[in-house]
Amino acid sequence: MEYKDYYKILGVKESASAEEIKKSYRKLARKYHPDVSKEADAEASFKELGEAYEVLKDPEKRAEYDQLRKMGAFSGDGHFQPPPGWESASHFSGGGFTDADPQHFSDFFEAIFGRSGTAHRQYGRGGRQYGFQMRGDDIHHKLPLFLEEVYSGVSKQITVNIPEVDERGMLAHKRKTLNVKIPAGMAPGQHIRLRGQGAPGVGGADSGDLFLEIELAPHPVFSVQGNDILINLPITPWEAALGTQVVVPTLSGKVNVKIPKGATQGQKLRLKGRGLKGGKQGDQIVILQISVPSQHSKEAEELYAKLAEQEKSYNPRNKMGV
Amino acid sequence: MAREITIDITYSFTLGELSERAGVSPEFILELVDLGVLEPSVKPTKSKPMQFEARSLTRLQCARRLHRDLDVNLPGVAMCLDLLEEVKQLRSEVETLHQLMGFNQDKPSS
């Protein structure tokens, strides 16, 4: 198993005072807190941090850990083996346990301090299982969907890891695949509950539920703003000048849109009722983007020269003072 | 082995259910309600208990983690949640604007 250098994880020296350890933990906890952090491995780093702090903040556990370090109970390649007959005096599993989520601690931690004390494990091992009931944990998942799927509804196969406590009181994960039918018109951020699909209960108690939070996956064509759908629509300068009819994709199929004569760059056209449902019915907003070919024929250049002559009085840069 | 599952979209929790599921005391929840972090979907009356939406559960769990892991007091938690919400909104707005401006496709030519 991998040796964990708790001092290194917390970024402190071996001689660090309790105060220094606390200070460093708090700083790093803020940096890596999964609810706040932008760091890639925030969740894993935060768990490691919690484990390191769990040991180093407690003088008894810290002393034991220091003793192990001195005994050199790990080989040079980073693999750790506790000395034969090693037993922790602090007996982590026997209670006196803090607020942290114990199931997150590593094998390394458990090899030194014993298995952590979730209710399942304590009761399982203490032979007091009789009559003990506990509802299974809820499981929360995010479910990224494409805009079209959110709009029209979709059947999705999802796989979740369900934590289960076996007969020896050990925690194991089981993969479960479910077919879920997502109805049309869900809003991003909305939750779906799958009753009884969470972790199984203990002692015949109910299973927990599985919650799915709808999330939007990025879309190549459409953007979303509230219930409105935004789309950039490229048009040519002559289409803008003369007006025309163009075909525009929407979530509910292609529609014909009239570009008014004299349209301008960035002008917005609203397609009523072509947005997302839910609360207030959204619209689709078409944003015109003037698009120019990168090369022109000689004839076209001549026409542009004529146009330049004709439109001489228009200076698009007059607000820049040039 | 995949089965078709029936789903719940509209459902709510009582104070007791919310407290059990999030692993916090009802007092903790009520304080967050006072601070405006959680809003009951059904206000309590004599015949009806207070009810919360599922969104409240996610928010409550985040509040609990911030409180527990970072030692933030509850008014601080309320502010964190507001700011996190704002950051999330701003990020998605920036993303939308970048997409609309075609930032990812075009690099400025030198």
CATH architecture assigned to A222-310: Sandwich (2.60)
Phi/psi for B45 (5° steps) reads -125, -175
Q: Do A179 and B71 touch (CB under 8 A)?
A: no
Gap from B96 CA to chain A (nearest CA, Å): 6
The ipTM of this complex is: 0.75
Contacts of B71 in chain A (CB under 8 A): 26
Condensed to tens digits (0 to 9), the pLDDT of residues A104-120 reads 677 778 777 776 544 33
CATH number assigned to the domain with residue range A139-216, chosen from the 4 options 1.20.1250.20, 2.60.260.20, 2.40.50.100, 3.90.1300.10: 2.60.260.20
Q: How far apart are CA B53 and CA B18, in angstroms?
A: 9
Range(s) within chain A of domains with CATH label 1.10.287.110: 6-117
Do residue A193 and residue B66 have CB atoms under 8 angstroms apart?
no
A21: confidence class by pLDDT, cuts 50, 70, 90: very high
**CATH 1.10.10.10 applies to domain B13-101:** no
- Region B88-96: mean pLDDT is 87
* Higher pLDDT among residues A165 and B98, named by residue: B98
pLDDT band at A91 (very low <50, low <70, confident <90, very high): low
Chain A residue numbers with beta carbons less than 8 Å from the beta carbon of B21 are 138
- Band (B103; pLDDT cuts 50, 70, 90): low
Q: What is the pLDDT of residue A73?
A: 56
Q: Where are the domains of chain B?
A: 13-101
Quickly state the pLDDT bin for A225 (edges 50, 70, 90): confident
Which residue of chain B is at minimal alpha-carbon distance from A177? Answer: B2
The 3 state secondary structure assigned to chain A is: CECCCHHHHHCCCCCCCHHHHHHHHHHHHHHHCCCCCCCCCHHHHHHHHHHHHHHHCCHHHHHHHHHHHHCCCECCCCEECCCCCCCCCCCHHHCCCCCCCHHHCCHHHHHHHCCCCCHHHHHHHCCCCCCCCECCCCEEEEEEECHHHHHHCEEEEEEEEEEEECCCCCEEEEEEEEEEEECCCCCCCCEEEECCCCCCCECCCCCCCEEEEEEECCCCCEEEECCEEEEEEEECHHHHHHCEEEEEEECCEEEEEEECCCCCCCCEEEECCCCCCCCCCCCEEEEEEECCCCCCCHHHHHHHHHHHHHCCCCCCCHHHCC
- Interchain proximity B8–A194, CB inside 8 Å: yes
Contact at 8 Å (CB) between A163 and A172?
A: yes
Interface of B with A (CB under 8 A): 1-9, 11, 20-21, 53-55, 57-58, 61-62, 65-66, 68-71, 80, 84, 93, 95-96, 99-100, 102
Contact between B96 and A138 using a beta-carbon 8 Å cutoff: no
Range A6-117 has CATH code 1.10.287.110: yes
Distance between CA atoms of B48 and A201, rounded to whole angstroms? 29
pLDDT of residue A74: 56
pLDDT at residue B33 greater than cutoff 80: yes
Q: What is the mean predicted confidence (pLDDT) over B57-76?
A: 90
The predicted pLDDT at position A303 comes to: 95
Choose the mutation target among B69, B71, B99 for the interface with A, i.e. most A CBs under 10 Å.
B69
Cβ distance of B69 and A33 shorter than 8 Å: yes
A35/B55 touch (CB, cutoff 8 Å), yes or no? no
Distance CA A116, CA A105 (A): 8
Does residue A138 register a pLDDT over 80?
yes
